[in-house]
Amino acid sequence: MSVNFELDAVSRSDTGKGSSRRLRKTGMVPGIVYGAGKDPEMISVSHNILLQHLDQEAFYSHILSVNVDGKAQKVVLKDLHRHPAKPFIIHLDLLRVSDTDKLKMNIPFHFINESEAAGVKEGGIVSHNLTDIEVSCLPKDLPEFIEVDIAALEVGSAIHLSEITLPEGVEVPQLALGEDHDLPVVAIHAPKVVNEDEDTGAAPEAATDEEESTNEE
């Protein structure tokens, strides 16, 4: 993991909606740090600094360092609450990590060689069925993303979860649930053929004079 994310936080003792509302008015976001067999800690972080980190995809699937009153802790972003109508962060949940305990995290897929894919060259259309997947691994093995190479994928074919090459030490718990959970990750479909008559909405041909005469009789 090439990027190091650090987040400065301040511990807080006031809780409740009123306290959180006042805190947000000062440009801070209330949050909580929990897990690893330790007591939860109520914290606050700078809204602007947090937004800068959230602009980077890796922040969501990375081991973070949160400094609570100057004391560093290893965490991951477990949950984030956004305002339903405004570009504001309402609350964040940070989960402490232990070097010896496995994590479950959602990791994004990165699809490569799409333009060079065999099916695309034949006129096929790429369909991303999944954009991320939950994985289980130790913190040291946590990937920022999982690469999916579709260069060899042909029209009418798909790559399933079981066919993805996972980084060492990384598992997909979903696959242990059976074949029904081995979902397609990406597929290439044949382009839809449009019937010209249906597409143009052409009217039926006019009846011939003979047909009109027959109808009149």
**Domains (range + CATH), the chain:** 5-96 (2.40.240.10), 103-189 (2.170.120.20)
CA-to-CA distance for 80 and 78, rounded, in angstroms?
7
CA-to-CA distance for 146 and 62, rounded, in angstroms?
13
Residue 44 has pLDDT above 70, yes or no: yes
| Helix, strand, coil shares, percent, the chain, to 5 | 25, 40, 35
Burial code of 112-141, b = ≥16 C-beta within 10 A, e = fewer? eebeebbbbeeebebeeeeeebebbbebeb
pLDDT band at 15 (very low <50, low <70, confident <90, very high): confident
Please report the pLDDT score of residue 18 as a whole number. 82
Please report the pLDDT score of residue 16 as a whole number. 77
DSSP class per residue in 34-87: EETTEEEEEEEEEHHHHHHHHTSGGGGGS-EEEEETTEEEEEEEEEEEE-SSSS
Average of per-residue pLDDT across 4-25: 87
Average of per-residue pLDDT across 205-210: 51
CA-to-CA distance for 49 and 8, rounded, in angstroms?
9
- DSSP H/E element including 188: strand 184-189
CA-to-CA distance for 147 and 113, rounded, in angstroms?
11
User: Using an 8 Å Cβ cutoff, are 103 and 76 in contact?
Assistant: yes
Q: Which residues pair with 35 in a beta bridge?
A: 38
Least confident segment among 1-10, 82-91, 160-169: 1-10
User: Using an 8 Å Cβ cutoff, are 170 and 134 in contact?
Assistant: no
pLDDT band at 126 (very low <50, low <70, confident <90, very high): very high
Average of per-residue pLDDT across 143-160: 96
CA-to-CA distance for 65 and 48, rounded, in angstroms?
17
Q: Is residue 75 packed enough to be buried (19+ CB in 10 Å), middle (13-18) or exposed (0-12)?
A: buried
pLDDT above 90 as % of the chain:
77
pLDDT band at 213 (very low <50, low <70, confident <90, very high): very low
Question: Where is pLDDT greater, at 6 or 2?
Answer: 6
Strands 146-149 and 103-112: parallel
Strands 184-189 and 125-128: antiparallel
